[in-house]
């Protein structure tokens, strides 16, 4: 499971970099909006991934593991809300389409990442 989480995070960071390169080439002024959008998704996902790896290594009990997962998801949402809240309370002229496109790209990549990063084990 540890390798799956790490591969998923690496894939999401690579997609974020590709998105930022494209955004920077398309419109340099919108690049910062794209960066904040990607980071608003990547930072909480990284927090959640690291915490799940730690919980997996420490907990053999499924009940405690599930309890930890619920707490970590709550922490992930709090981080996400704080980052987006801080972004939209500043006077910076955000490009909301670019910001949310980066955010959604990273979120959706989490759905397809297991298909890309899954490796069958040889019998």
Residue 18 lies in a domain: yes
Structural domain count, the chain = 1
Residue 122 lies in a domain: no
The b/e string for 66-94 (b: 16+ C-beta within 10 A; e otherwise) is eebbeebeeebeebbeebbeebeeeeeeb
Residue 50 lies in a domain: yes
Residue 123 lies in a domain: no
DSSP 29-91: GGHHHHHHHHHHHHHHHHHHHHHHHHHHHH---HHHHHHHHHHHHHHHHHHHHHHHHHHHTS-
Confidence band, pLDDT 50/70/90 cuts, at residue 118: low
**Residue 35: its pLDDT value, please?**
94
Tokens at 115, concatenated = 């298909």
**Residue 10: its pLDDT value, please?**
92
**Residue 116: its pLDDT value, please?**
73
Instruction: Name the pTM for this structure.
Output: 0.82
Q: What is the pLDDT of residues 61-106, one digit of tens each?
A: 777 777 888 888 898 899 999 999 998 899 889 899 999 999 999 9
Report whether pLDDT(122) > 60.
Answer: no
Q: What is the pLDDT of residues 43-55, one digit of tens each?
A: 999 998 888 888 8
Look up residue 94 and give its DSSP letter.
-
Per the structure, the complete domain to which residue 107 belongs is given by: 2-117
**Residue 59: its pLDDT value, please?**
66
**Residue 46: its pLDDT value, please?**
92
């Amino acid at each position: 499971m540890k390798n799956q989480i790490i591969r998923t995070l690496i894939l999401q960071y690579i997609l974020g970099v590709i998105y930022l390169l494209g955004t920077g080439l398309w419109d340099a002024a919108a690049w910062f909006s794209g960066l904040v959008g990607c980071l608003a998704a990547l930072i909480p996902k990284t927090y959640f991934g690291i915490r799940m790896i730690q919980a997996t290594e420490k907990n053999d009990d499924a009940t405690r593991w599930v309890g930890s997962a619920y707490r970590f998801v709550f922490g992930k949402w709090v981080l996400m809300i704080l980052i987006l809240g801080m972004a939209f309370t500043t006077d910076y002229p955000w490009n909301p389409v670019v910001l949310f496109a980066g955010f959604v790209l990273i979120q959706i990549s989490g759905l397809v990442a297991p298909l890309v990063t899954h490796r069958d084990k040889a019998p």
